[in-house]
């Protein structure tokens, strides 16, 4: 069997889908997207197609290593996101070839469902109580939110007090029926992060994500030693080599690599098993589309330390398209009692609606991250 064609589809709200075709009629789907850079990834896939066409799609590891190691430059968000989508699609083909879900080819599942959470509040955290209660009504028992707007490297205690009050009001409203994850989103610099972590400890968050930007692994390690709150890092790291430093410095109790950014299913599994050796939990990042979520669920099925899965149904970014718009089975990601079942169909376990994909690709998108500035005019972390 040989790869014959790669086709990308730029679809709203901010996603890029990849279809890989073969000379035996089997096709696979991946999601090689980098938010705000979808057109760049489409160009990268086109560039890599010269190398991929004619290759045996079942030789997943050799293809992965060839894409990663060939050409001198390796790692980084663009190359690894492109490899991610290709890797997903190849596993999808291999599962269909063997008429088995991906997890069955990787040793078999350790679980048949995984706990899940979704977002509330938007980029600027507003209406958190209403959002949390709506999720509870929909069957969720965990949610995540951004904790603040712009925050200077050293800001006022009035700002800190406002952040803490908003989150304390939320905790009081939902009690212990809803677990809360707080995302600092890299907006908080180390001086304020240390203060906030201390102030937020009484609210007992499930975890704090990106307490500082991912480049500051050493500072996150310092923060991890000063708080009882589990810290999370990973969505902006792009290979097991990036994560090695996190594990060695004990910078986080949880890692959240993104299957669409870190090298696909193959690399996610490697990172998940590395994390297990350090007794670090796995909580895959996925505020993305249905293909990335299906790929994440296959990883959740086989990594014992996976405990919760992010997903984007109804997230504030999903304007003009949502998870179930692109799949034929609208129940495939149904949440019951806070859990999503692991798809059991061949490959990734989902069937894409190609008519909808083609129709929406004609519309496309140009999603960009918002530009924020501080009161003094300087650029702010988003």
> Which residue in 154, 149, 148 sits closest to 167, CA to CA?
148
What SS3 state is found at 81?
A: helix
Give, in degrees to the nearest 5, the angle at Cα 268 between 336 and 271. Answer: 115
Phi, psi of 334 (to 5 degrees): -65, 135
CB of 301 closer than 8 Å to CB of 100: no
Cβ-Cβ contacts under 8 Å for 7 (sequence gap 6 or more): 18, 19, 21
Phi, psi of 330 (to 5 degrees): -75, -10
The one catalytic residue in 185, 189, 261, 365 is: 185
d(CA 234, CA 256): 5
d(CA 86, CA 19): 9
| Residue 285 falls in the annotated catalytic set | yes
What SS3 state is found at 197?
A: helix
Structure tokens at 362: 């004609």
Omega cis (within 30) before 13: yes
CB of 340 closer than 8 Å to CB of 113: yes
The one catalytic residue in 103, 189, 238, 285 is: 285
> Which residue in 163, 173, 181, 128 sits closest to 287, CA to CA?
181
Q: Indicate the angle between helix axes 38-52 and 60-69, nearest 10 degrees.
A: 110
| Residue 316 falls in the annotated catalytic set | no
Q: Which residues does the annotation mark as catalytic?
A: 185, 285
């Amino acid at each position: 069997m040989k790869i014959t064609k790669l086709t990308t589809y730029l679809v709203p709200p901010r996603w890029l889908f990849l279809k890989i075709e073969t000379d035996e009629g089997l096709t696979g789907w991946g999601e090689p997207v980098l938010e705000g850079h979808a057109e760049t990834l489409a160009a990268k896939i086109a560039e890599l197609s010269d190398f991929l066409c004619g290759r045996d799609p079942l030789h997943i590891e050799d293809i992965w290593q060839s894409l990663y190691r060939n050409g001198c430059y390796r790692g980084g968000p663009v190359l690894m996101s492109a490899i991610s989508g290709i890797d997903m699609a190849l596993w999808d083909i291999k599962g269909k070839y063997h008429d088995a879900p991906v997890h069955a080819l990787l040793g078999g599942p350790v679980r048949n469902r995984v706990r899940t959470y979704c977002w509330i509040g938007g980029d600027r955290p507003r209406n958190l109580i209403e959002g949390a209660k709506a999720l509870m009504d929909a069957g969720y028992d965990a949610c995540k939110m951004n904790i603040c707007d712009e925050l200077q490297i050293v800001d006022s205690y009035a700002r800190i007090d406002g952040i803490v009050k908003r989150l304390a009001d939320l905790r009081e409203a939902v009690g212990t029926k809803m677990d809360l994850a707080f995302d600092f989103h890299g907006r908080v610099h180390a001086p304020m992060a240390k203060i906030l972590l201390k102030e937020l400890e009484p609210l007992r968050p499930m975890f704090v994500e990106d307490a500082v930007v991912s480049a500051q692994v050493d500072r996150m390690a310092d923060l991890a030693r000063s708080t009882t709150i589990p810290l999370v890092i990973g969505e902006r790291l792009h290979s097991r080599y990036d994560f090695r430093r996190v594990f060695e410095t004990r910078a986080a109790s949880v890692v959240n690599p993104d299957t669409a950014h870190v090298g696909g299913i193959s690399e996610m599994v490697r990172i998940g098993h590395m994390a297990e050796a350090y007794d670090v939990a796995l909580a895959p990042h996925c505020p993305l589309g249905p293909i990335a979520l299906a790929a994440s669920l296959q990883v959740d099925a086989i990594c014992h330390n996976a405990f919760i899965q992010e997903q984007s149904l109804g997230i504030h970014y999903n304007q003009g398209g949502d998870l179930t718009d692109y799949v034929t089975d609208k129940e495939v990601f149904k949440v019951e009692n806070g859990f999503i079942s692991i798809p059991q169909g061949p490959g990734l376990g989902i069937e894409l609606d190609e008519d909808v994909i083609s129709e929406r690709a004609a519309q496309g998108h140009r999603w960009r991250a918002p530009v924020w500035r501080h009161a003094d005019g300087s650029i702010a972390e988003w």
